[in-house]
Amino acid sequence: MRRTQFTQESFRTAPIPFHPEDQFIIAKKGDRFDQIAHRYYGDQRAWWILRTANPDSFGLFPTAGTQIRIPSNRDNRLFTFFDTLN
């Protein structure tokens, strides 16, 4: 099995498609994408999914008070989508 390699360029050029089961939250002061990823996906290493889906945020810290999109990962669709890029 080939290991997926992601680059900064692939994040900019391959936005995560919207899905009816996507969720939205309002970021609170001190939130970090890795913590949110752990809460919603059970794996903090999935922070890049949230970062990619929310390109207006900076680094690991979403701006408090902003809406954050949590893409649905039903049936592992996110990882399958990004595997097609490499």
Asked whether the beta carbons of 32 and 61 are under 8 A apart, the reply is: yes
Map out the domains of the chain as residue ranges: 8-83
Give the residues across from 25 on adjacent strands. 68
**Mean pLDDT computed over every residue of the chain:** 79
d(CA 77, CA 86): 15
Tens-digit pLDDT profile for residues 8-36: 444 444 578 888 999 999 999 999 999 99
Instruction: Give the model's confidence band at 4: pLDDT under 50 very low, under 70 low, under 90 confident, else very high.
Output: very low
Question: Has this prediction a pTM greater than 0.85?
Answer: no
How far separated are the first and last CA of the chain, in Å rounded?
A: 12
Q: What is the pLDDT of residue 84?
A: 58
Higher-pLDDT residue of 66, 8: 66
